[in-house]
Structure 1
Amino acid sequence: MRRYETIIILKPTLGDDENQAVLDRAVGNIEADGGATIRVDKWGVKTLAYLIQKEKQGYYLYLLYSGTPEAVAEMERLLRIDDRVMKYLTVKLQDVYTHLPEDDLEISGPPAPPVSKILADDDDDSDDEDDA
């Protein structure tokens, strides 16, 4: 399953029960399709950079989860039709990249020639135009 993160901005006038209901609905949709919720953060009411639906503030929710693309599409559909949700954004996270230290790398093949030799060879190639 792929990992995703979603930020949901709710209307600031909603109560804690309404905010929790939106969160439960989103998490329930993910888990119903076999996904797993990794992290849920309630960032609270924050000032928006610009007006959204004539509101200056919004209640932010952050979800980090794993699931199928179909589950994400269904959750976004539910968020789109919910009047309590002002805006949302879902991002698919990259696969985890593990960095190997240079000591653990195995290099095969002959060593690369020094840069000065490569530059000298390039200068000799410019004379080939006169030979043709």
Structure 2
Amino acid sequence: MNRTYEVIFIVRPDLVDEEADQLVAGFESAANASGATVRKVDKLGRRRLAYRVRGFREGNYVLFELESAGSEPIGELQRRLRIAEPVIKYLAVRTDELEKRLEKRRRHRAARLERRPARPESAGHADDDPAAAMEGRGEGEGDGALAS
């Protein structure tokens, strides 16, 4: 069974575009060489960071979607991201586990809805219609006003 991962990393904003492209291509080839399949590379562009990271307030975001038979290729990619000087932050997440949990949650909710008894249809009671319930009130009733 193949595992799917998302790896997002932030590159220093002062890096020239050509150097950033070479860095991304190097990470992509390293992932392919270690046995992973890169499904998608998204260069999300420069964004402001929520807090200062290694002295930078902005960074260029890059997102990889990978597929791998094991965890070794991701470990190798994380090692390279950790030692690469232009990378100021990175995060790798296994997404197939998230999909499994979401699917389990959906099945649980569907089963719970099937077990729940059906609601009876309302027979037009005044309690069901808030406007009808308000019509019977006189002035000053129910609005919290004190009688003098």
TM-score using structure 1 length: 0.70
Secondary structure of the structure 2 residue equivalent to 1:94 = helix
Q: Which has the higher contact order (CA 8 A, sep 6+)?
A: 1
Shift of 1:30: 1.4
Give distance in 2, aligned partners of 1:55 and 1:35. Answer: 31
In 1, Cα distance between equivalents of 2:48 and 2:95: 26
User: Which runs of 4 or more aligned residues in structure 1 lie more than 6 Å from their structure 2 counterparts after TM superposition?
Assistant: none
Q: Structure 1 stretches of 5 or more lacking a match? A: 106-111, 115-132
Cα shift at 1:24: 1.1
CA offsets 1:73-122 (integer angstroms, 9 cap, x no match) = 1111111111100000000012555678x7xx9xxxxxx8x8xxxxxxxx
- 1 CA distance for matches of 2:71 and 2:39? 16
SS at match of 1:24: helix
In the other structure, the counterpart of 2:142 is none
Deviation at 1:20, TM superposition (A): 1.1
CA distance in structure 2 between the partners assigned to 1:19 and 1:36 by the alignment: 21
Match of 1:121 in 2: none
Offset, 1:29 = 1.4
Does 2:76 correspond to 1:74?
Answer: yes
Mapping of 1:2-41 within 5 angstroms? 2-41=3-42
Q: TM-score normalised to the size of structure 2?
A: 0.63
Cα distance per residue 1:46-69 (max 9 Å; x no partner): 000000011110000011111231
Counterpart of 1:128 in structure 2 is: none
After TM superposition, give the deviation of residue 37 of structure 1 in Å.
Answer: 1.0
Count of residues paired in the alignment: 104
Bigger radius of gyration among the two? 2
1:47 aligns with 2:48: yes
Choose 9-18 or 88-97, whichever is displaced more.
88-97
Please list every run of 5 or more consecutive structure 2 residues that lacks an aligned counterpart in the other structure.
118-148
In the TM superposition, what whole-angstrom CA distance separates every residue of 1:9-56 from its partner, at most 9, and x where no partner exists? 000000111111221121111111222111111111100000001111
Which residue does the alignment assign to 1:92?
94
- The question of whether the paired residues in 1 share the 8 Å contact of 2:34 and 2:76 is answered with no
